[in-house]
Amino acid sequence: MSAGWWMLFNSAEFLFAFLPIVLVGFLWLGKYSSARAPIAWLLGASLFFYGWWNPAYLVLIAGSIGFNYTIARLLQRRPSRGLLLLGVGVDLLSIGYFKYAGFLVDNLSALAGTDWHIAHILLPLGISFFTFQQITYLVDVYRGDRPERDFIRYALFVTFFPQLIAGPIVHHGDMLPQFRRFADRGQSTRRLVIGATVFIVGLFKKVVVADGLAIWATPVFAVADQGAPLGALEAWCGTFAYTFQLYFDFSGYSDMAIGLGMLFGIQLPINFNSPYRAHSIIEFWRCWHITLSTFLRDYVYFPLGGNRLGPVRRYVNLMLTMLIGGLWHGAGWNFVLWGGLHGLYLVANHLWRAARPTKTASQPLTQFVCWAFTLLVVAIAWVPFRAETAAGSTAILHALTGAAGFSTPVPDLVFGVREIGTLLALAIAVRVLPNVYEFMREAAPEIPAVRGAPRGLRLGWQMQPRWAVVVGIMAALSLISLHRVSEFLYFQF
């Protein structure tokens, strides 16, 4: 599906038509109408946003909402395990059909030596996110949480457009109370400015930084997937170009989602806390895609037994959780391999921590080595995550070892001092610069504090002319770059 069919946050139709109309209508209704009107307005806008891609899939998301709402109400009356399994089972069958049916049939066909196949199934946008949100909702209602009685509020919880397509994965306990308090909110100019600033920072990350890096990363992986030889220089530069592209793409999307939420008086959960500052893989997973990590911990790792059944079972549970996390990202063995690598990383990290003294080394050199090694192994694991074929993944990993030579002359793959210097500068930037939440924290105490990774430089935004100029320049550079509109990488998941 072409990106032109999607109403992307970085598209002209979103920035200059959809968002202004929805925001002005929301503010007007909030001031001059009942408390339910803004909720209904946002629900209608969110459904329009989703239907812009493919109106036919409005039937899917509407059916999912109606089904899970009904099951939750029935669970309140009679908390039956069978009813819960029915609800979760139907949700999993839905995502399984659209996301994994082709993968399953292809593998069964290969095992049986047949030519079975099914027609290509177009993956509905955001199905992983809105399905997982509703599964957690059903599980929590079964455990005793009160279900939402207001259908419009529940539907908005599922479809709220800032986080509908690529997260963060929101929890009903965080979102539904905010929708109930719409009547009490005050939408100040200050909050609008802060929300717009966070959004612009995310937009800059996406269209200037991430899309700029795609020009370097994409050709390297395309060449590897086509079977052409690569040298170590091209392989390492392509790997780190994608490492930073993915970071700024998904981090930018998450910032934009949080900024949009603030424009409408809604606080979305933080999904990124500078994971490339991490000194260990354990620390990395506390900071990367935080809402998915939380979901996997609470609804996969803990139900498997967590660390309550001894160290061996703990490591088995870690591996299973990460394999499931890998498969969540896509129907392909490359994603399973990526999840397995991170499972091995986590097991090794826990074994290392168990074998060494508990006191954390504070020497700058030790911290630097830990940070550099963590970033290195994370970058290597991104290779199978990004490569479209097993042969392409193998070719790049082979080239990274230097076995294929230092550099292989391939058209359009010219990495010189400028490209290498830019990648090194980005490595320093993600290590020392504050993330947007640290950057805004002093002026916006409503942004929750983030923990897990070392703090960046203490550089804080204030509602002052000098920062208006800086943000204005970022907005201008972003708008200039809109001619190369591209989808967000996590849209495919």
Q: Which two tokens stand for residue 441?
A: 């924290």
Angle 351-352-355 (CA atoms, 0-180°, nearest 5)?
85
| Contact status, residue 50 vs residue 41, Cβ threshold 8 Å | no
Phi, psi of 123 (to 5 degrees): -75, 120
Q: Which two tokens stand for residue 303?
A: 């139900």
| Length of the chain as a residue count | 493
Q: Is 439 exposed, middle or buried (0-12, 13-18, 19+ CB in 10 A)?
A: buried
- Give the helix/strand (H/E) hosting 50: helix 36-51
| Contact status, residue 478 vs residue 248, Cβ threshold 8 Å | no
Is 117 one of the annotated active-site residues of the chain?
Answer: no
Q: Which two tokens stand for residue 318?
A: 């870690």
The Cα–Cα gap between 474 and 267 comes to: 23
Alpha carbon distances (Å) from 68 to 34, 73, 153, 160, 493:
27, 9, 13, 16, 22
User: Rg of the Cα trace of the chain?
Assistant: 23
Query: How many CB atoms neighbour CB 434 within 10 A?
Result: 17
Beta carbons within 8 Å of 227's beta carbon, 6+ residues apart: 391, 392, 395
| Contact status, residue 453 vs residue 460, Cβ threshold 8 Å | no
Buried b (16+ CB within 10 A) or exposed e, 239-251: bbbbbbbbbbbbb
| Contact status, residue 344 vs residue 383, Cβ threshold 8 Å | no
Beta carbons within 8 Å of 288's beta carbon, 6+ residues apart: 272, 275
Q: Which amino acid is at 121?
A: I
The Cα–Cα gap between 397 and 257 comes to: 34
- Which candidate in 289, 329, 342, 350 is catalytic? 329
Q: Assign residue 458 a region: left if phi > 0, alpha if psi is -120 to 50, beta otherwise?
A: beta
Omega cis (within 30) before 168: yes
Q: Which residues form the catalytic set?
A: 329
